[in-house]
């Protein structure tokens, strides 16, 4: 799907607040509600808008400590990866999980209440599959955080 400037503006508005009223979105993109709604439906049908969610405050939910974990493994086969990926997906504190290129094999972003909470997650993590190295870094300060993707690169 080709995204024009109006679609891009709709995406910017909804990424800031998906609960923005349709009339307000339409006003901001200089359309009436009906064509605006059709555009939103097309963006959803094309998978550009994957889902609409509520973003929660980690501190208020008691998980204000962010830990970035790098993992190395001696295992590089599909069966191991499948087992490991399933196991990691079942750990709710793991917010993001990436297979990497370069020196490390996997990168995880984990949220916990404190170091003791991370230790509990670590113990679950090492039970999932054999790992050769686990290294953890605790975020001291969040300087920038956004869930809004830049839309200007869309084809």
Q: Contact 97/108 with Cβ under 8 angstroms?
A: yes
Question: What pTM, to 2 d.p., does this model score?
Answer: 0.90
What domains are defined for the chain? 5-45 (1.10.10.10), 65-138 (3.30.70.920)
pLDDT digits (tens, 9 = 90+) for 21-47: 999 999 999 999 999 999 999 999 999
pLDDT digits (tens, 9 = 90+) for 84-96: 999 999 999 999 9
Q: CA dist 122 to 14, 29, 68, Å?
A: 36, 47, 12
Q: Which of 118, 120, 114, 113 is nearest to 60 (CA)?
A: 113
Alpha-carbon Rg of the chain, whole angstroms? Answer: 20
pLDDT bin (cut points 50, 70, 90) of residue 155 is: confident
Q: What is the token pair recorded at 89?
A: 């997906």
CA 17 to chain centre: 16
The reported pLDDT for the residue numbered 83 is 96
């Amino acid at each position: 799907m080709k995204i024009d400037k109006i679609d891009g503006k709709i995406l910017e508005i909804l990424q800031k607040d998906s609960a923005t009223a349709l009339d307000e979105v339409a006003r901001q993109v200089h359309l009436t509600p009906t064509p605006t709604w059709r555009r939103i439906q097309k963006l959803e049908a094309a998978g550009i808008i994957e889902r609409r969610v509520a973003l929660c405050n980690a501190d208020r939910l008691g998980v204000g400590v962010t830990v970035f974990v790098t993992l190395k493994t001696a295992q590089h086969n599909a069966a191991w990866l499948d087992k490991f990926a399933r196991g990691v997906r079942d750990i709710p504190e793991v917010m993001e999980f990436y297979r990497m290129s370069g020196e490390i094999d996997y990168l995880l972003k984990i949220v916990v209440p404190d170091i003791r909470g991370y230790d509990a997650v670590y113990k679950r993590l090492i039970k999932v599959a054999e790992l050769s190295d686990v290294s953890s870094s605790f975020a001291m300060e969040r300087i920038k955080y956004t869930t809004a993707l830049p839309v200007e690169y869309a084809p």
